[in-house]
Amino acid sequence: MNQSRAQRWVLGFFVLLALVMLSAPTVVVMGASVSAGRMIAFPPEGFSLQWYGKILAASDLRQAFGRTLVVALICTAVALPVGTLAGIALAKFRLRFAGAVQVYLLLPFTVPLIGSGIGMMLAFGKMGILGQLWPVGIACAVINLPFMIWAVTASAAALDPDLELAAANCGAGRVQTFLSVTLPAVTPGIITGSLLMFILAMNEFLVSLLLVDARIVTLPVQIYNSIRSIITPDLAAISVVFIVMAALAIALLDWLVGLDIFLKSK
Amino acid sequence: MGRIRQQGPQPMIRDAANAAQAAKAGPAVSVRGVDMDFGAGPLAVADAGFDLARGRFLTILGPSGSGKTTLLRMIAGFQTPTRGEIFINGEPVSKVAPHQRAIGMVFQKLALFPHLTAAQNVAFPLKMRRFDARGIPARVEQFLDLVRLGGLGGRRIHELSGGQQQRVAIARALVFQPDLLLLDEPLAALDRKLREEMQLEFRRIQRELGVTTINVTHDQREALVMSDEVIVMEAGRIQQNARPVDLYRDPANAFVANFIGVTSFLPGRVAPGGLECGGILCPGTPRQALAAGTPARGAIRAEQIRMAADGAALAGLDFRLQGQVRDAIFEGERQLYEVVLPALGGIAVQVYHHDASDFALTAPGQTVTVGWNRRDMILFPAAVP
Ligand SMILES: Nc1ncnc2c1ncn2[C@@H]1O[C@H](COP(=O)(O)OP(=O)(O)OP(=O)(O)O)[C@@H](O)[C@H]1O
Ligand SMILES: [Mg+2]
């Protein structure tokens, strides 16, 4: 590299700025969560893990966390087969409705979540299934599915079509070819997409807010409800739990497929 | 040559191949009036037809886009001819799915399964074709040995060199003893030395197993070196189907004459005993009977034109004339000259010269004498414009 010194300084400055800006909220919330004081504050007043103890003891938080896990698992379980097949189909075949599918893939960026949330609230209400957890999982799957499809499509598009012909030439029928060649090739995309779906469903707030009632609040909704009363450092502690889960997911991803693949699969 | 290690016959393979051969008579592959129409543009393959006898090695040779891959893929079953029929062992196969055809194929980009080891790649066809599971490891071992990869079976594909990957692909194509082996330019990506080594390797294995083989290439040298028979294709049409020697000595038309070797063409009209070109009779032989006065082109190979500084040295030839050196390319064991012939209206011919002591001739503008014999110039009817 033949960069001049000034160029390196400028580049370094902006990288540093970006890092600080991206990590500042995380740092603040982590600091606040170990505060010894009674109010949420940064920098923290002293050090204590009391708030972690408190959220562990709070049964309503524990139950909300459990429900959130169930929602995330249902969402992932629904999105995994649907997103995998849709992603492969999209990458391999010239679909008749390709245009419509493209629009659908852009939906998460165009339609505000409140819109899709209200739509689903009305639909589920008509069907009389509100007040249960599984419709929330399905709703999360529906609104986040494009991310899963993207992850799989990126893997499937990189698959050499000759590989499938080679499998056929080796005597593999369609199903065997799919299982022994296509599926292994898109596995990184499936893992990436599934973890993404899981995390997104864990964090999903708005749609959950519209679909749950007081008996089945999920964790993000529970947090929101608490904020309306008073803001205590236990909320910061819960946020840290979320951050840790996301970090675990990324570590898992790195271990399973390597982060470089994830970063390349748009 | 030292590279071709003598290897004892493999009893199991030989016997099975012989039994299969005895059971079936007639050509291993027949292609009858096959067209492939992709919709846009001219036919990718037009009216292709040939027979290939069992155990023979056929090469399909042609420039890029001439339809070689398309023809091969139709035989493999990846594409269905829009017209005509392909027979394998006498059976029409247009309704037979690719995985039901007993064909081994080595793809241009190999198409090895990246998530499997070399041995698992070779075992794959055996598993898919439901071979007795207990026999598979030994069989895989045997074929890895055949391609000289013994001991490397546990490696992942990306842990092997290009040449080793080639060999895995060959083993995978052959391990279930297919009736037919298809090769789609698998050597094109290799460097020259490795390519020539693999050509001999293919030939050795093909002879050892006696498997009928169709190879695709645009490398004329590879076609001549490896094959029992060569089909030359151009623009979707088969131009000639012949043994390598005949292809070289007796090209069916001007395209083939031009495609194989380095050939010069002289324009003119057919005259008794040769070609009348620029008012001079150049001795030559028409490939088929041509009426005198017909517009024609005389084709002559660079190595059949003789050249000397002193015309007297070429006294024994049927024909001599003077020219000027325009360019000379040094190729090591020989030199390729471009010689302008003012007497023939300034036409240039290409001449191979093997005498390294004559380097003085290379100076551009140098006057030389060239000449050839009547039988070495072949006359073809001029292409109708
Ligand atoms: N799937 C396809 N759809 C449309 N046209 C095609 C298709 N496959 C091949 N063609 C066309 O058919 C013609 C023959 O192609 P083919 O691949 O058989 O050539 P080739 O002789 O193998 O060339 P190369 O030496 O470059 O591999 C070309 O003009 C090509 O553009
Ligand atoms: Mg080709």
pLDDT in tens, B80-129: 999 999 999 999 998 899 999 999 999 988 999 998 999 999 999 999 99
Residue A36 placed within a domain: no
| B277 shares a domain with B219 | no
Which of A37-46, A63-72, B206-215, B319-328 is predicted least confidently? Answer: A37-46
Q: Which tokens is A52 given?
A: 């972690």
The count of domains in chain B is 2
Q: Where are the alpha helices (DSSP H) in chain A?
A: 5-33, 50-57, 59-92, 98-110, 113-127, 134-157, 161-169, 174-177, 183-203, 206-211, 219-229, 233-256, 259-264
Contact A168 B172 (CB under 8 A): no
Whether residue B62 has its Cβ less than 6 Å from ligand 1? yes
Residue B7 placed within a domain: no
Using CA coordinates, name the residue in chain A closest to B131.
A171
| B222 shares a domain with B177 | yes
Residue A125 placed within a domain: yes
Cβ atoms of B73 and B124 within 8 Å: the answer is no
* Range(s) of the domain holding residue B117: 16-249
A160 in reach of chain B (CB within 8 A): yes
- Rounded Cα distance between A223 and A60, Å, is 11
Length of chain A: 266
Residue A252, min C-alpha distance to chain B (Å): 20
What is the tens place of the pLDDT at every residue in B315-346?
888 999 999 999 888 887 888 999 999 999 88
- Rounded Cα distance between B369 and B371, Å, is 7
pLDDT at site B17: 53
- Rounded Cα distance between A54 and A206, Å, is 26
Band (pLDDT 50/70/90 cuts) for residue B9 is very low
A118: CATH? 1.10.3720.10
DSSP class per residue in B351-377: EEE--GGGGGGGSTT-EEEEEE-GGGS
| B232 shares a domain with B121 | yes
Residue B6 placed within a domain: no
B338: CATH? 2.40.50.140
- Give me the residue label for tokens 């675990």: A248
* Mean predicted confidence (pLDDT) in A239-257: 84
Residue B254 placed within a domain: no
A181 in reach of chain B (CB within 8 A): yes
pLDDT at site B12: 45
Give the burial class of A222: count Cβ atoms within 10 A of its Cβ; 0-12 exposed, 13-18 middle, 19 or more buried. buried
| B227 shares a domain with B279 | no
B53: CATH? 3.40.50.300
pLDDT at site A70: 93
Whose C-alpha lies nearest to ligand 1, atom 17?
B69
Give the ligand 1 atom nearest the CA of B71: 18
| B363 shares a domain with B217 | no
| B322 shares a domain with B237 | no
What is the tens place of the pLDDT at every residue in A133-168?
899 999 999 889 988 998 898 888 888 889 999 999
Q: Which tokens is B362 given?
A: 């290379």
| B38 shares a domain with B167 | yes
Residue A1 placed within a domain: no
Query: Which residue among B36, B66, B74 is best mutated to probe the pocket of ligand 1, counting the most ligand atoms within 8 A of its Cβ?
Result: B66
Percent of chain B with pLDDT over 90: 59
Residue A248 placed within a domain: yes
DSSP class per residue in B32-53: EEEEE--SSSS-SEEEEEEEE-
Give the ligand 1 atom nearest the CA of B68: 21
| Element at B201 (helix H, strand E) | helix B192-209
Which of B193, B228, B249 is where one domain is finished?
Answer: B249
- Of B61, B51, B56, B37, residue with least CA distance to B88: B51
Give the ligand 1 atom nearest the CA of B233: 21
Q: Which residues of B touch A163 (CB under 8 A)?
A: 111, 113
| B293 shares a domain with B184 | no
Residue B151 placed within a domain: yes
Whose C-alpha lies nearest to ligand 1, atom 12?
B44
Residue A115 placed within a domain: yes
How much is the pTM? Answer: 0.78
pLDDT at site B108: 87
Residue B158 placed within a domain: yes
Residue B266 placed within a domain: yes
Residue B85 β-bridge partners? B32
Contact B109 A181 (CB under 8 A): no
Which of B97, B108, B172 comes nearest A170 by C-beta?
Answer: B172
* Mean predicted confidence (pLDDT) in B222-232: 93
A163 in reach of chain B (CB within 8 A): yes
| B297 shares a domain with B363 | yes
* Range(s) of the domain holding residue A107: 52-265
| B184 shares a domain with B45 | yes
Residue A209 placed within a domain: yes
B143 in reach of chain A (CB within 8 A): no
Which of B222, B249, B276 is where one domain is finished?
Answer: B249
One-letter amino acid identity for B82?
Answer: T
B78 in reach of chain A (CB within 8 A): yes
| B244 shares a domain with B105 | yes
* Mean predicted confidence (pLDDT) in B59-69: 93
Residue B10 placed within a domain: no
Residue B177 placed within a domain: yes
C-alpha B150 – ligand 2 centre gap (Å)? 31
Contact A166 B107 (CB under 8 A): yes
C-alpha B69 – ligand 2 centre gap (Å)? 4
- B247-256 CB contacts, 8 Å cutoff, 24+ apart: B248/B224, B250/B287, B250/B378, B251/B287, B251/B299, B251/B378, B252/B287, B253/B287, B253/B380, B254/B297, B254/B299, B254/B380, B254/B383, B256/B232
Residue A14 placed within a domain: no
| B305 shares a domain with B245 | no
